[in-house]
Structure 1
Amino acid sequence: MTTVPEQLFLLGNLAILLTYVVVTAVVVVWAVRRRGRLQDEADAHRATLQAVAEHTDDAIIGSDLDGVLTAWNRGAEQIFGWTADEVVGRHARILTDEAGAAEQRDMMRRIREGEKGVPYETRRFRKDGTPVEASFSVALVRDRFGQPIGFSAVVRDITALKEAAERQRAVEERTHQAQRMESLGKLAGGVAHDFNNILAIIVNYTDFAAEEAAGNDALTADLRHVRTAADRAINLTRQLLTFTRGDTIQPRDVDLSAALAEVHAMLGRTIGEHINLIMVPSAAPVTVHVDPGQLQQVVLNLAINARDAMPDGGTLVLEANTADLDGGELDMQPALPAGAYARLLVSDTGEGMTADVAAHIFEPFYTTKPRGQGTGLGLSTVYGIVAEAGGSINVYSEPGVGTTFRIYLPLVTASGDGAATLPRHDAPPAGDGRTILVVEDEPALARVVTRILTDGGYHVLTATGGRQALTLFHQHRCDALLTDVIMPEMSGRRLAELVHASEPALPVLYMSGYSNGLLGTTHVLDGDIAFIEKPFTAHDLLHKIAEVLPDLTRRYG
């Protein structure tokens, strides 16, 4: 039997024990509940991360250290076309080709060696084989002990961005090309006026000498060689002015198919019998507003290039039709707004070009032909003509297959004055003593013009500048004014304005080898302006003078 002190002692210990049990129970319950709350929070956090991963447009991909796929979100399904069930457990090489697989192995090696967060852009492939331009950000995944267990990648589809960047690059290249041509144009325009004056003198004195040498076969042959060389120089100058927008343009409505038919016979002689020439005209008229001579020059230049690309023979196809640029074709023609266009296709089965060559063919003086066989101005001339007409040109070529040039020009819905006619070759009427006031600041050329007009039956008054011309005009009765456009003291246009202030009906014929002073920035000749381009022949000048004189025009027409 225990004593009271012993009982009290036992009761005290029991109380302590019960307190410990209660406290422990409370702590256990609190710990269990806290752990449950933490687990719930962790589960909620994981659910949030899972939802974010599933609803992002980017692909989130996981793999083990060998590259076997372990995670694949909805963004990955949208980008690559594979479902998670189809790819999890398969190697990541299903997304790439052999070159991409090697790149992928190198990337995984670099990350395992310690490189952090490797971002890179590469090409991968969808389930259907179409390419995807992708931006990858890859990192190493570790377990809770710090040991690597795999890789995680965030992948973004940048195909649209790449395509936009490529279009921007193409626009910038066109801009740079236009700037290069503008710079060269300033240089070409600066010398064209004087150079064409010199050529006019050479051409006409050669013709004068040929007339005097009639019957002397040896001398006539020599003069013919001089004339041929001068003609080549004339063509070269005109090509320079064309692609640099310094040439004179006299546009009119032209049926593209009819224009092709007109040059058919000329092409047959030019390209030779070893080329099979096929013309594919449009069933309905395809009307464009262009300078007829320049359109002919475009076709000839492209045909000659095609001929040179087929030394052993081949097929050249010229086709005229229409195109509605509102989809894929519009992407290839960024310089043109959507709408209906006339289209000229020039295709050959020749040697073709590499992409690098094709990227430079419209640049002035760029040529792949042997020295002495090309000036490098043919295609740049074509480019300038097409751009001046408000159109655009591109080229598709494959080495060993052939080349196709596609030219798009604004389509005229209703024809105006019809297709162009060929120049007249009949003799011009005599001047019958009519007085022509000639204004030319180059004395040698003034003498040439005076001789041509005098031999043609005209009376000629000659001035070397605007002030002298005004004095002669007020002292004599004149039937027409023939004036240079660009002169030191007064332009031809200003001189004509002063003359018309006194005699509004006086016919005026402008002459120039570089017509910026007459045309301003448009380069398009107004319909009421009579103009003859230097260098000209006696035949051309006499015809043009006859056209501007009203009474001669009635007899001449």
Structure 2
Amino acid sequence: MVAPALPRGSAVRTVTSVASYVRAALERRHDDAGARQRRCRHRLRQELAIRGGVSIFIIAFQIVFRLDFDGVGRLVSLIALFSFLLNGLYYLTARGGHAYRTQAYTRMLVDVVLITVGLYLAGGLGAAQYLGIYLIVTIYAGITFSSSACLVATAAATASYAAIIALQQSGILAMPAHELSNPSMVAVFNLIIFNIAGLLIAVLARALRESRRRLRTTSQELERFVEAIPEVIYVLDRGGRLSLWNRRLEDATGLRARELRGTPLVDLLAEDDRGAMSAALVSGLGDQEFELESRLRGADGTLTAYQWTGAALIDEHGLVSGLTGVGRDVTERKRSEEVLRQREREMRQMQKIEAIGRLAGGVAHDFNNVLTVVLGRCQLLLARHKPEDPVYQDLEQIEITAQRAANLTRQLLAFGRNQTLTHQTLDLNGTVTGISDMLGRLIGENIELVVTLDPSLGLIMADPGQLEQVIVNFAVNARDAMPKGGRLTIETRNVELDAAFVAAHPAATRGPHVLLEARDTGIGMDEEMRQRVFEPFVTTKAPEQGFGLGLSTVFGIVKQHGGYITVESAPGRGTAFRVYLARTESSLEAPRDADGPRPVPRGETILLVEDADAVRRLVHEVLRRLGYRVLVARDGAEALALSQSHTDAIDLLLTDVIMPGMDGRDLAARLQATRPETQVLFMSGYAEPPLPENVLLQKPVTPDDLARKVAAVLRGARDRRRTTLAG
């Protein structure tokens, strides 16, 4: 858009004043190789015009006043005419360049000789009163050439006339009749006056030449200054056509000087920006400063963003003669602004996710306590009934529903990045291959599944279960976007994120990465939806089809893995999700056996601390049935009191993390200060900051999970003690 009109004032006058200097510098730049020759011929034309003008004036003066053509007047007229004709001959034969100075000195000396001959014919010594005619040559020499030329002309004239006087006084030359009573005194006096005048003219000529030199130096410095400016400087005529510019415009457009001269500035811009620039130029011709942004088209068709400013050029009559201004490349600035906007969008996204994550964490803590009781009691009841019992199927349905609720809670924790991950060295190709059959069943037969895996794919550190959830969410999203069928492509490959990529995506990190890409041929998304696609509860699905947490969960999982995710989509062109995960140099680990046989307890003592009554009773019952001795406390203070009163060993502290008064971490630290041999296992539905996987039992807790985790912690402690004793 065109900037608002500014009042005419000092800014406009300053711009106009500077523009005149810039224009002069630009004009010097645009001189071509024949400029010197043209200048020489121009000076010859000036000299011819001056000489011709003097000759015509003298002849016209004599005709008008009917003066006698005899004597001095006739000689002066003849000399002027002859000089005019001689200079015309020089003009026709001159080629300019260095020969011009030699020709000029020759003409000057010829003029001196002609005047001297004329003075001799007019009376020689008796025509001393006409010595002033020599001043024509000295003045012209000083103005046109230099003070040195003026002194040379003065010396040549003095020597020539002195030679005539000497020759006449010695009788070698005849003395024509004259009317002077004392011609020698007149001649000497006039020669002195003539030489003084010649010296003054030489001084003035030297000052004039020095002024010209300073002006030329200033002009050259200004020219270098203009060329050194990284911005485009331009001068337009009233029609908006380029008349002057600096080299930056040629570099930006790839056009040469002859191609730019006379070209309308708007023709160099992108078509969409020409209307705004035309309006700005019209306002500039109305003596208003303007400012706008538009894109300059390069020789290869690329568009570069420029910020244009301009103001009117005012001539000596106060009229607008054109426009001048500056074009500044703002590509880097706009790129920085886009990066800043991207960071702000990501920051807002993270703030939303963090806020809902905190809310989800609080809800998850209480909700997982409820689910622990529901799932635990349900499994205990299932263990008491046979599949053919009437209540067995009802109990199974309760368990399935509770598991769905637990999955929803895990999704809330995932996009809030509050879940506990099991990191291990992972081959992503193996993860994709392992769930390919399931993905095929998930998306249906009307959607083609294409899997393209890089055989040289690097390894990553990740939680395999969480990455499976990412891939499944991509598949579900693609299925819902292709109700009439299509193609889902899942691809892996090695990529290197360089500085350019990180500059465009500030949240990413440089270095070697593994890329997981999921592309579909579905309906796609508009830009507004694409910007919000990872926000929780944002979905285009019907309420019964989902909560809008799938992609939010993906975003949280990727961020918790230290990765980066992008989405590319447009209406009718499908969607592509790309996940970048850092490569690792670690080697593959042996698979972990999560479903081994249930360990047999050895009568260990467990201190159970849980503030939720229902959860505490359930866990107590399960541990007691497993064969452990259990000390039960409602909070940290009660647990420490039990520890002090209990004289035997306490093998394991099983405690909730979030409790009133003293939380689980503080309790563990204080207990281990007096009982360093006691192992610690935390139970939590939400832990912030997250706890290591080997000391955390994630709620909701089932009896089987509880049995395996407690046994694993105790077995690890026994193994470490045996290793210590053996050492």
TM-score interval for Structure 1 and Structure 2 normalised by the shorter chain: 0.7 to 0.9
SS in structure 1 of the partner of residue 406 of structure 2: helix
- The alpha-carbon deviation at position 460 of structure 1 amounts to 4.2
Q: Does 1:359 align with 2:531?
A: yes
SS in structure 2 of the partner of residue 353 of structure 1: coil
Number of the residue aligned with 1:3: none
Distance 1:43 1:147, change over 3 A: farther
User: Partners in 2 of 1:80 and 1:229 — Cα distance?
Assistant: 67
Deviation digits for residues 278-303 of structure 1 (CA, Å, limit 9, x no counterpart): 22223135221122222222222222
Question: What is the number of equivalent residue pairs in this alignment?
Answer: 531
The structure richer in strand per residue is: 1
Tell me if structure 2 keeps the 8 A contact 1:185–1:241.
Answer: yes
Q: Does 1:550 align with 2:722?
A: no
Distance 1:505 1:42, change over 3 A: closer
Q: What code does the residue aligned with 1:525 have?
A: P
Q: What code does the residue aligned with 1:106 have?
A: A
Number of the residue aligned with 1:394: 566
Tell me if structure 2 keeps the 8 A contact 1:249–1:524.
Answer: no
The 5 Å alignment of 1:398-413 reads 398-413=570-585
The 5 Å alignment of 1:126-525 reads 126-210=298-382, 214=386, 219-284=391-456, 286-415=458-587, 417-418=589-590, 420-421=591-592, 423-424=594-595, 428-429=598-599, 431=601, 436-458=606-628, 460-472=630-642, 474=646, 480-500=652-672, 504-516=676-688, 521=689, 523=690, 525=692
User: Partners in 2 of 1:89 and 1:525 — Cα distance?
Assistant: 73
The structure richer in helix per residue is: 2
SS in structure 2 of the partner of residue 359 of structure 1: helix
Tell me if structure 1 keeps the 8 A contact 2:357–2:417.
Answer: yes
- The alpha-carbon deviation at position 33 of structure 1 amounts to 8.0
Number of the residue aligned with 1:74: 247
Tell me if structure 2 keeps the 8 A contact 1:485–1:511.
Answer: yes
Q: Structure 1: which 5+ runs fail to align?
A: 1-6, 8-13
Tell me if structure 1 keeps the 8 A contact 2:339–2:505.
Answer: no
- The alpha-carbon deviation at position 549 of structure 1 amounts to 3.7
- The alpha-carbon deviation at position 433 of structure 1 amounts to 6.1
* Aligned Cα root-mean-square deviation (Å): 3.6
Distance 1:524 1:509, change over 3 A: closer
User: Partners in 2 of 1:380 and 1:171 — Cα distance?
Assistant: 18
- The alpha-carbon deviation at position 367 of structure 1 amounts to 2.3
User: Partners in 2 of 1:314 and 1:423 — Cα distance?
Assistant: 37
Q: What code does the residue aligned with 1:490 have?
A: M
SS in structure 1 of the partner of residue 618 of structure 2: helix
User: Partners in 1 of 2:259 and 2:355 — Cα distance?
Assistant: 59
Q: Structure 2: which 5+ runs fail to align?
A: 1-178, 180-185, 720-727
- The alpha-carbon deviation at position 535 of structure 1 amounts to 0.4
Q: Which of 697, 700, 715 lines up with 1:535 in the alignment?
A: 700
Distance 1:552 1:70, change over 3 A: closer
User: Partners in 1 of 2:620 and 2:703 — Cα distance?
Assistant: 10
Number of the residue aligned with 1:61: 234
Tell me if structure 2 keeps the 8 A contact 1:254–1:288.
Answer: yes
Q: Which range moves more in the overlay, 476-485 or 29-38?
A: 29-38
User: Partners in 2 of 1:131 and 1:422 — Cα distance?
Assistant: 59
Deviation digits for residues 14-57 of structure 1 (CA, Å, limit 9, x no counterpart): 9xxx9xx99xx899999988777766665555444444333322
- The alpha-carbon deviation at position 156 of structure 1 amounts to 1.2
- The alpha-carbon deviation at position 413 of structure 1 amounts to 0.6
Deviation digits for residues 518-549 of structure 1 (CA, Å, limit 9, x no counterpart): xxx4x3516xx332110022222222233234
Tell me if structure 1 keeps the 8 A contact 2:285–2:323.
Answer: no
Tell me if structure 1 keeps the 8 A contact 2:417–2:559.
Answer: no
User: Partners in 1 of 2:291 and 2:580 — Cα distance?
Assistant: 43
Deviation digits for residues 255-283 of structure 1 (CA, Å, limit 9, x no counterpart): 11112222223322322222222222231
Tell me if structure 1 keeps the 8 A contact 2:683–2:698.
Answer: yes
Deviation digits for residues 95-151 of structure 1 (CA, Å, limit 9, x no counterpart): 123321111211122223342x21222222112110111011111223322232322
Q: What code does the residue aligned with 2:470 have?
A: V
User: Partners in 2 of 1:38 and 1:503 — Cα distance?
Assistant: 98
User: Partners in 2 of 1:166 and 1:551 — Cα distance?
Assistant: 53
User: Partners in 2 of 1:229 and 1:29 — Cα distance?
Assistant: 112
Q: Which range moves more in the overlay, 118-127 or 463-472?
A: 463-472
- The alpha-carbon deviation at position 175 of structure 1 amounts to 2.6
Q: What code does the residue aligned with 1:192 have?
A: A
Which one has a bigger Cα radius of gyration? Answer: 2
TM-score (norm: length of structure 2): 0.66
TM-score (norm: length of structure 1): 0.84
User: Partners in 2 of 1:219 and 1:361 — Cα distance?
Assistant: 43
SS in structure 1 of the partner of residue 577 of structure 2: strand
Q: What code does the residue aligned with 2:713 have?
A: V
Deviation digits for residues 321-378 of structure 1 (CA, Å, limit 9, x no counterpart): 2222224433344223322122222222222222222222222332232334332322
User: Partners in 2 of 1:524 and 1:467 — Cα distance?
Assistant: 22
Tell me if structure 2 keeps the 8 A contact 1:482–1:509.
Answer: yes
